[in-house]
C-alpha cells in the first residue's frame, strides 16, 4: 500500500484527532490516536498520568507508545499529542518512518477551542482565561520549530472534505500512500 504511517502533528486543539479520523476514512486506512492508545495501555486518563508521573513521565510513556504504533502492519493515520514531536527524537523518528503532516492553526482560532476545553488539557488547565492567549502564542512559537519539519503543512483552520481530499492527494504525491 505504501511506506510507513501518516503522522498528524500540531498544537493542541488543532483538530489532529477529529481531522485525522476523517482523513483516515478518506484514505480508507485505520486511525490511531496516541493519547487514546496511551490511555488504554496505562489504564489512566492523560490528566491522571500527568498527575501521577508529571510531564516528563508522560512524555516517556508517549515516546514508547509512538514506537509501538509505528510497528503496526500497514499504513495508519496516527494523531499525535501536541508535544509529541518536541520531545526526545520523536520528530526525527516520525520523519523517517512515514509522512508527517502538520495541521497548522492560527493562535486566534485555537484560543476559543481551547478555552472551552481547558479542564481536559493538563498543560493549560491552570492557566487563567486572561493569560491563555499569551500562553498559547508563546508555547506555539516554542513548538513551531518542530512542527515546521513536517513533510506537509496544511492550513487546518477549517478542515472540510475538500481540504482533506487535497491532503490525501499531497500525501500520495509525497509517495507515502497509493490509493
**What is the C-alpha separation between 123 and 12, in angstroms, rounded?**
10
Please, what is the angle between helix 16-27 and helix 161-174, to 10°? 70
Q: Residues 20-44: pLDDT tens digits?
A: 999 999 999 999 999 999 999 999 9
Q: Residues 82-128: pLDDT tens digits?
A: 999 999 999 999 999 999 999 999 988 888 888 777 776 777 888 88
Report pLDDT for 1.
30
For 20, left (φ over 0), alpha (ψ -120 to 50), or beta? alpha
pTM, whole model, 2 decimals?
A: 0.90
Task: Phi first, then psi: give them for residue 56, nearest 5 degrees.
Answer: -60, -45
**What is the C-alpha separation between 23 and 177, in angstroms, rounded?**
12
Please, what is the angle between helix 46-70 and helix 34-42, to 10°? 110
Q: Which fold has domain 5-174?
A: Rossmann fold (3.40.50)
Amino acid at each position: 500500500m505504501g511506506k510507513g504511517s501518516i503522522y498528524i502533528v500540531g498544537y493542541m486543539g488543532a483538530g489532529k484527532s477529529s481531522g485525522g479520523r476523517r482523513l483516515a476514512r478518506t484514505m480508507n486506512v485505520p486511525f490511531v490516536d496516541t493519547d487514546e492508545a496511551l490511555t488504554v495501555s496505562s489504564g489512566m486518563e492523560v490528566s491522571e498520568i500527568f498527575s501521577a508521573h508529571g510531564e516528563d513521565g508522560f512524555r516517556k510513556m508517549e515516546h514508547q507508545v509512538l514506537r509501538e504504533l509505528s510497528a503496526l502492519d500497514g499504513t495508519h493515520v496516527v494523531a499525535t499529542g501536541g508535544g509529541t514531536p518536541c520531545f526526545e527524537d520523536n520528530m526525527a523518528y516520525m520523519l523517517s518512518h512515514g509522512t508527517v503532516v502538520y495541521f497548522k492553526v492560527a493562535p486566534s482560532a485555537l484560543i476559543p477551542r481551547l478555552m472551552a476545553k481547558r479542564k481536559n488539557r493538563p498543560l493549560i488547565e491552570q492557566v487563567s482565561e486572561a493569560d491563555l492567549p499569551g500562553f498559547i502564542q508563546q508555547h506555539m512559537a516554542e513548538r513551531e520549530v518542530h512542527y515546521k519539519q513536517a513533510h506537509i503543512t496544511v492550513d487546518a483552520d477549517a478542515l472540510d472534505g475538500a481540504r482533506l481530499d487535497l491532503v490525501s492527494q499531497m500525501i500520495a504525491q509525497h509517495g507515502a500512500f497509493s490509493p
